[in-house]
């Protein structure tokens, strides 16, 4: 029973939040005249000592004391005697842990935002370097249309912007203080919950004492945002893995972010990217883990909720590591322009440009233009050349409305430059999007 009941091995990470919550609580108790000033001063001094001890040497775990709250309270009693017992007036471990955990998760949102910002900045820097670099855009992993590398990297900037917004939304929703809800019904002491909420940086106290101690939506919000961020990181990792393979050769991974083989000395394996791809699964599983814990719990507190912290702590550590690794890779990847340009020119990537030209220049309905372009692709395939390799006579034979003026759209450079619609891949668009993203950042 002692072993299964103890949570100190996990919740010891909350010691800073537990001490902060206790400071706010006892200060309020003193201001409300519930605890005498001398006892308040002794408790605050004792909490200062405990904070210094834990900061210097860490917490010494005692499973018999179950959790971080009892560790702090027991050490406080050792330091100041019976006055320590007054700290828990008008408070339960239920509202105490709910407050500590909210404080921790709120800070975790800010930490993740710092990591997301660093990766976004790295992507913007590389996108700026490669606003004109041509690469193939894919659908179904088949060459579809040429794009710029800068535009491709900006797609991930947009994903990370949504990730940042999700963490910001989660932090705003969780910015209510449960302290003072006590076990589940509130307290008969004349406490000032607004005072403790303000002292801990919350916008307001929570509105319902039952919900206050039983809610873990804030942790699920965090995990949902972390899962989405991990999904995005995994997609980028997968592209780096593909691009680094010899059939593509789009990127060269520096030695710092790759590993060798135990038997094949020529290998440069994208292990960091592969591990980011794998760890995304842990982030997705963490949300499922906590969701299954919470899904059948009646109000208010149940001991099941003691297991709420492990998946959140693990997910936070994993996401932070993945963000740091991905930022390092993005900053140092070597992009190989020639293979990208060659791949963009393959697969008849400018076929849509021919169809669009027929619509614009010859007033051909798009479906008819699509059919004409298909015949041009077949003709080029038969000759083993690209579309721009067809002669003027070849093109006119396919359809008399195709004139030499079509040459202006058949190169990959012309195709990319023409995509000037909002959100398009034209280099001018890319540079404007980079500037706008930096302003938002």
**Three-class SS state of 204:** strand
**Whether 232 is catalytic:** no
| Cα-based distances in Å from 206 to 174, 199, 214, 266 | 9, 14, 12, 60
Burial of 222 (0-12, 13-18, 19+ CB in 10 A): buried
Where does the pLDDT of residue 261 fall: very low under 50, low under 70, confident under 90, or very high at 90 and above? low
The pLDDT of residue 265 is 57
pLDDT tens-digit readout, 2-40: 889 999 999 999 999 999 999 999 999 999 999 999 999
Q: Which residue of the set 140, 188, 262, 422 is catalytic?
A: 140
C-alpha 128/C-alpha 141 separation (Å) is 25
Q: Label residue 390 left, alpha or beta by phi (over 0 means left) and psi (-120 to 50 means alpha).
A: beta
Decide: 53 and 71 in contact? Cβ < 8 Å.
no
CA dist 53 to 46, 92, 417, Å? 11, 25, 63
Q: State the CB neighbour count (10 A cutoff) for residue 393.
A: 8
Sole residue written with tokens 């308040």: 40
Annotation marks residue 316 as catalytic:
no
Residue with tokens 């008008």: 90
Number of Cβ within 10 Å of residue 52's Cβ equals 10
- CB atoms near residue 282 (< 10 Å): 19
At 79-130, the pLDDT tens digits run 999 999 999 999 999 999 999 999 999 999 999 999 999 999 999 999 999 9
Q: Indicate the range of 70-74, 79-83, 208-212, 380-384 predicted with least confidence.
A: 380-384
- Is-contact 204 181, C-beta < 8 A? no
Looking at 15-19, 91-95, 141-145, 335-339, which range is the least confident one? 141-145
d(CA 200, CA 209): 18
The radius of gyration of the chain's CA atoms, rounded to the nearest angstrom, is 30
Contact 288, 315 (CB under 8 A): no
CA 410 to CA 438: how far, in whole Å?
33
Task: Count the Cβ atoms, other than its own, within 10 Å of residue 20.
Answer: 19
CA triple 379-382-384, angle to 5 deg: 110
Largest pairwise CA distance in the chain: 100
Q: Please give the model's pTM, rounded to 2 decimal places.
A: 0.91
300 token code pair: 């208010």
Catalytic residue selected from 165, 245, 261, 408: 261
- Supply 435's token pair: 């500037």
CA–CA dist 232, 349 (Å, integer): 26
């Amino acid at each position: 029973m002692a072993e299964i009941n103890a949570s100190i091995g996990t919740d010891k990470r909350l010691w800073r939040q537990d001490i902060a919550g206790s400071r706010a609580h006892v200060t309020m108790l003193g201001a409300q005249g519930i605890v005498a000033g001398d006892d308040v001063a002794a408790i605050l001094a004792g909490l200062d000592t405990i904070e210094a001890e834990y900061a210097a040497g860490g917490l010494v775990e005692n499973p018999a004391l179950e959790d971080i709250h009892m560790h702090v309270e027991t050490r406080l009693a050792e330091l100041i005697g019976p006055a320590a017992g007054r700290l828990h007036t008008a408070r339960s471990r239920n509202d105490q842990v709910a407050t500590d955990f909210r404080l921790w998760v709120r800070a975790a949102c800010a930490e993740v935002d710092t990591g997301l910002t660093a990766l976004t900045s790295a992507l913007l820097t590389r996108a700026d370097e490669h606003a004109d670099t041509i690469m193939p855009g894919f659908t179904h992993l088949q060459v579809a249309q040429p794009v710029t590398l800068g535009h491709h990297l900006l797609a991930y900037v947009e994903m990370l912007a949504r990730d940042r917004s999700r963490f910001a939304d989660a932090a705003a929703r969780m910015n209510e203080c449960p302290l003072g809800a006590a076990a589940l019904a509130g307290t008969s002491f004349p406490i000032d919950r607004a005072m403790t909420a303000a002292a801990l940086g919350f916008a307001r106290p929570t509105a319902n004492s039952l919900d206050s101690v039983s809610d873990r939506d804030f942790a699920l919000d965090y995990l949902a945002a972390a899962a989405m961020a991990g999904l995005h990181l995994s997609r980028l990792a997968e592209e780096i893995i593909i691009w680094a393979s010899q059939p593509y050769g789009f990127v060269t991974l520096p030695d710092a972010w790759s590993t060798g083989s135990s038997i094949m000395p020529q290998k440069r394996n994208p292990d960091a990217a592969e591990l980011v791809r794998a760890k995304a699964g842990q982030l997705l599983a963490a949300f499922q883990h906590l969701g299954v814990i919470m899904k059948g719990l009646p109000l208010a507190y149940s001991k099941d909720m003691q297991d709420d912290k492990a998946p959140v702590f693990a997910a936070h550590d994993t996401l932070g590591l993945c963000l740091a690794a991905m930022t390092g890779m993005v900053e140092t990847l070597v992009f190989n322009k020639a293979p990208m340009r060659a791949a963009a020119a393959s697969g008849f990537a400018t076929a849509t440009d021919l169809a669009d030209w027929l619509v614009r220049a010859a007033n051909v309905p798009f479906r008819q233009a699509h059919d004409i372009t298909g015949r041009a692709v077949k003709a080029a395939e038969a000759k083993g050349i690209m579309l721009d390799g067809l002669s003027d006579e070849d093109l006119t034979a396919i359809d008399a409305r195709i004139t030499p003026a079509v040459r202006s759209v058949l190169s990959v450079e012309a195709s990319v430059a023409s995509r000037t619609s909002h959100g398009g891949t034209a280099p001018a668009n890319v540079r404007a999007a980079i500037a706008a993203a930096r302003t938002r950042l």
